[in-house]
């Protein structure tokens, strides 16, 4: 009887031990799963400050920049959602005088013909009005845009003063888009480039603010054009509508059919309503860029927004990410803005920027 009780006791102890061990394994697994879930997700905004954000993807590396006013900095990372821990460097400061001395806005990094270029907006020293704003270009021959020398190539020879220049390759030609000022109104203009800083041929005004929702904050403004190629050959141009200090600042969309003449105003049709606007407690959504996920399977958008009403057009505008999906007709659908408490899955193929060596810049 004593022996039987002893055997039963040992079996009970072993069962209890196995149960405790299993609970421990499950707890560790759950903890690991929770950590993995956090590591695989992110929340907006990416930084507390980041007006006019821009992302360029090159060989598994993301380069990021935004308006800083008196300088241009680049961030480099393999995880665009982890900008807070990205490498950062000031790569250029403006001269003290001249046409590009003040109000350094909306820098964009591009790789063209084996060289790096930055397009940025600036204002002439001694002026603050729109008539003295223009788009300027920097050039760097280094394989690494955080190294080498940035050479000032001067102002793009636009017909009008303006801001927010960007470029796009299409059917063998390099196109330039910007937001020209026509009096107190600004629209979207397009032209071809013979080199990264020189317009050749005609400059065409393809869109003006003619919708009620494009007249916000007391100004009729279209600005911040950005190209997006559709899945079946369409060409899209997003633009930011209204004044940046308005809570109703929003993104509109222009569309050109496959094979259309991009320099013909009649080739472009405008969306009847914004494709991205204030929602879920996030306001003044605008000035965007587009990029692909690391594995190229997903299209994403980056844009700035405010976390509350009445925050205006300040450095508190912060960078947000969202997915872009495509309808059966090849039209983009941009995800609504999300508040900080919502966690989103990272772009497909993202790796932890702190866990691997940074890929070498391509030559």
**pLDDT tens readout for residues 292-327:** 999 999 999 999 999 999 999 999 999 999 999 999
Residue 236 has a CB neighbour count (10 Å cut-off) of: 20
Distances (CA, A) of 52 to 69, 120, 254: 11, 11, 20
Quick one: average pLDDT of 347-353?
86
Tell the residue number behind the tokens 């020879």, with chain if given: 157
Tell me which of 24 and 80 has the higher pLDDT. Answer: 80
DSSP code string of 36-101 = HHHHTEE-S-SSS--SS-EEEEETTEEEEE---BS-EEEEEES-GGGGGGSEEEEEE---SSSTTS
Note the pLDDT of residue 358. 54
Question: Which pLDDT band, with edges at 50, 70 and 90, does 4 fall under?
Answer: very low
- Residues 346-363 have a mean pLDDT of 68
Catalytic one among 82, 139, 203, 223?
Answer: 223
Confirm whether 96 is a catalytic residue. Answer: no
Question: 207 to each of 8, 56, 81, 177, how far by Cα in Å?
Answer: 85, 26, 33, 11
Looking at residue 287, its pLDDT comes to 98
Rounded Cα distance, 163 and 100, in Å: 12
Catalytic-residue membership of 141: no
Instruction: Supply the pLDDT for residue 237.
Output: 99
Kindly tell me if the per-residue pLDDT of 9 is higher than 80. Answer: no
Look-up of token digits 């090849």: 330
Query: What percent of the chain has a predicted confidence (pLDDT) above 70?
Result: 87
52, 79, 82, 226: the active-site residue? 52
Q: What is d(CA 321, CA 345) in angstroms, rounded to the nearest whole number?
A: 11
Q: Scan for tokens 């941009």, then name that residue.
A: 334
Is the pLDDT score of 14 beyond 80? Answer: no
Please state the φ and ψ torsions of residue 10, each to the nearest 5 degrees.
-65, -40
pLDDT at 352 over 80: no
């Amino acid at each position: 009887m004593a022996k039987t009780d002893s055997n039963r006791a040992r079996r009970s102890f072993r069962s209890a031990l196995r149960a405790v061990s299993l609970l421990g394994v499950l707890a560790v697994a759950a903890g690991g799963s929770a950590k993995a879930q956090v590591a695989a997700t992110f929340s907006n905004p990416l930084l507390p400050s980041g007006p006019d954000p821009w992302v360029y993807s090159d060989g598994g590396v993301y380069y990021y920049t935004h308006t800083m006013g008196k300088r241009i900095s680049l961030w480099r990372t393999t995880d665009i959602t982890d900008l807070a821990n990205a490498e950062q460097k000031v790569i250029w400061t403006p001269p003290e005088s001249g046409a590009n001395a003040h109000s350094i806005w909306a820098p964009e990094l591009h790789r063209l013909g084996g060289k790096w270029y930055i397009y940025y907006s600036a204002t002439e020293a001694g002026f603050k009005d729109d008539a003295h704003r223009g788009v300027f270009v920097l050039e760097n021959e280094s394989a690494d845009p955080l190294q080498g020398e940035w050479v000032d190539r001067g102002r793009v020879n636009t017909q009008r003063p303006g801001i927010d220049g960007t470029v796009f390759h299409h059917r063998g030609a390099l196109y330039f888009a910007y937001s020209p000022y026509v009096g107190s109104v600004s629209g979207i203009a397009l032209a071809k480039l013979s080199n990264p800083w020189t317009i050749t041929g005609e400059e065409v005004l393809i869109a003006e603010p003619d919708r009620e929702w494009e007249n916000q904050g007391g100004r009729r403004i279209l600005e911040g054009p950005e190209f997006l190629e559709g899945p079946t050959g369409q060409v899209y141009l997003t633009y930011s509508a209204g004044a940046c200090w308005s809570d109703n600042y929003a993104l509109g969309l222009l569309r050109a059919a496959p094979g259309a003449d991009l320099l013909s105003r009649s080739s472009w049709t405008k969306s009847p309503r914004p494709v991205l606007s204030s929602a879920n407690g996030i306001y003044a959504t605008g000035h965007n860029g587009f990029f692909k996920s690391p594995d190229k399977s997903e299209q994403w958008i980056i844009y700035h927004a405010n976390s509350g009403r009445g925050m205006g057009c300040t450095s508190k505008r912060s960078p947000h990410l969202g997915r872009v999906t495509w309808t059966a007709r090849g039209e983009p659908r941009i995800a609504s803005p999300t508040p900080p408490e919502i966690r989103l899955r990272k772009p497909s193929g993202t790796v932890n920027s702190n866990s691997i060596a940074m890929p070498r810049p391509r030559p």
